[in-house]
């Protein structure tokens, strides 16, 4: 065991280039890796107000009316007795859009909880203990049954053998959640482990208790078609590990009663989560078009206000002496005030209800899509799920079609 302890000391200095996973060694209880709990929701209680406000202010219409509401408070240019009359309408529009996004994020949080609370089986000695995916840690040995999903990236240790006298150490996995492929992929147990663990569940669990060593492998990365590692077992020669010996999170076991696996990566370190990018702030084609049209309308409005303020200034110059009782004054400051006054006066040139009308239409479209019988599958009792109502208007807007030889 001294050799294993010495090699593990190297792991602390080489942790940036490779990962060391110990099992049945003194260091197995000291190794620290990330939790297997995942989080795909976008908002929390403390960042939701800031992120949602930023996303709404990105819409030019909302920014425009917020500026108009601010100008309406200024007494010298206000035509509403310093009351921001457009503010309730724009807050209603922004609030409705925020509520939709929070509703969608709640569905993501619910999906995260379902995944984190999914059942799994951990091997402790000769016993199989029920647990949840959140409880899974690096170095644990899991028992995964047929058609069950993998809660983490695991090294295949053994599995059900139809013919115990002639163990094959093989199983199949379905990886459509990873790469979209529906064809099954073959996975094999290392020949060293087949010889050491045996072919029945009782033999495998008993042998695992006396098996000590560690796995030296690549650091977490998103490459689902490649894995580089080495298995070191006490008293045995090191053997290489490839992607054909590893089952990845998100795939599911097929064509075997059960498999046993040593957890290598958990949570954010798994390959599927490494490949998951942070979702960008999405804008549909309609939103971008509306922003473009809003920009054109605002430019037109600025031109109208500029022309009006210039014409008023010219009229003041011509009529200041004639209508002396009006106490007309001509200055560059007055021109700027007149410009802002006309801007507030003509603010209704832009529709304040445009945003909420579009949001209501998107919400209605998403509801009909989710409840339409045309998108319902009776075989598996599954209906269409709209995860982002902001993009429902993108349906039918196809610019490219990518297809490989299998048609996925």
List the catalytic residues: 404
- Token readout for 205 is 């669990």
What are φ and ψ of residue 125, in 5° steps? 65, -125
Cα(first)–Cα(last) distance of the chain, in Å? Answer: 49
Q: How many CA atoms lie within 13 A of 106 on its CB side?
A: 6
Close Cβ partners of 324 (under 8 Å, ≥ 6 residues apart): none
- CA–CA distance, 147 with 168 (Å, rounded to integer): 20
Alpha-carbon separation of residue 320 from 305, 332, 335, 382 (angstroms): 21, 15, 15, 76
> Can you list the alpha helix ranges (DSSP code H) found in 189-275?
191-197, 201-210, 271-274
- CA–CA distance, 137 with 160 (Å, rounded to integer): 23
- CA–CA distance, 382 with 234 (Å, rounded to integer): 50
Give yes or no for a contact between 99 and 181, defined as CB atoms under 8 angstroms apart.
no
- Token readout for 5 is 């302890």
Helices (H) and strands (E) in the chain, counts: 11, 13
> From the centroid of its chain, how far is CA 208?
37
Give me the residues paired with residue 247 across strands. 154
**Hey, CA dihedral for 300, 306, 309, 310, is it positive or negative?**
negative
Close Cβ partners of 296 (under 8 Å, ≥ 6 residues apart): none
Closest among 372, 377, 363, 290 to 104, alpha carbons compared: 363
- CA–CA distance, 95 with 320 (Å, rounded to integer): 48
Give yes or no for a contact between 167 and 199, defined as CB atoms under 8 angstroms apart.
yes
Give yes or no for a contact between 56 and 250, defined as CB atoms under 8 angstroms apart.
no
Residue 264 three-state SS = strand
Close Cβ partners of 377 (under 8 Å, ≥ 6 residues apart): 383
């Amino acid at each position: 065991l001294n050799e294993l302890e010495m090699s593990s000391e190297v792991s602390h200095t080489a942790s940036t280039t490779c990962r060391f996973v110990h099992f049945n060694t003194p260091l197995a209880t000291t190794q620290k890796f990330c939790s297997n709990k995942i989080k795909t929701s976008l908002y929390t209680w403390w960042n939701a107000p800031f992120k949602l406000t930023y996303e709404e202010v990105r819409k030019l219409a909302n920014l425009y009316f917020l500026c108009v509401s601010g100008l309406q408070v200024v007494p010298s240019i206000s035509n509403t007795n310093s009351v921001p009359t457009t503010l309730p309408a724009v807050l209603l529009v922004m609030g409705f859009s925020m509520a939709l996004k929070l509703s969608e994020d709640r569905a993501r949080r619910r999906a995260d909880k379902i995944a984190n609370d999914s059942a799994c089986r951990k091997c402790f000695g000769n016993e199989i203990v029920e647990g949840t995916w959140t409880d899974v840690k690096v170095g644990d040995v899991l028992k995964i049954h047929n058609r069950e999903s993998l809660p983490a990236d695991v090294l295949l240790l053994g599995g059900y053998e139809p013919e115990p006298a002639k163990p094959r150490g093989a199983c199949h996995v379905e990886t459509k959640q990873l790469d979209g492929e529906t064809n099954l992929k073959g996975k094999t147990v290392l020949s060293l482990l087949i010889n050491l663990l045996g072919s029945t569940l009782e033999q495998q669990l008993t042998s695992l208790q006396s098996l000590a060593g560690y796995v030296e492998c690549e650091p977490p990365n998103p490459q689902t078609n490649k894995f580089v590692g080495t298995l070191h077992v006490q008293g045995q020669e090191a053997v290489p590990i490839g992607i054909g010996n590893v089952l990845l999170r998100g795939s599911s076991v097929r064509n075997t009663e059960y498999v046993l696996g040593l957890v290598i990566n958990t949570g954010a370190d798994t390959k599927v989560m490494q490949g998951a990018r942070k979702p960008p702030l999405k804008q549909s084609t309609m939103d971008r078009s509306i922003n473009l049209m809003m920009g054109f309308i605002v430019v037109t409005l600025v031109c109208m206000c500029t022309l009006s303020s210039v014409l008023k200034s010219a009229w003041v110059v011509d009529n200041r002496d004639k209508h002396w009782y009006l106490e007309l004054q001509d200055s560059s400051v007055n021109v700027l005030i007149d410009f802002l006054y006309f801007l507030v006066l003509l603010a209704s040139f832009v529709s304040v209800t445009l945003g909420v009308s579009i949001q209501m239409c998107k919400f209605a479209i998403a509801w009909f899509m989710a409840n339409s019988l045309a998108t319902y599958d009776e075989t598996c009792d599954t209906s269409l799920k709209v995860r982002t109502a902001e993009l429902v208007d993108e349906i039918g807007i196809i610019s490219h079609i990518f297809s490989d030889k299998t048609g996925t």
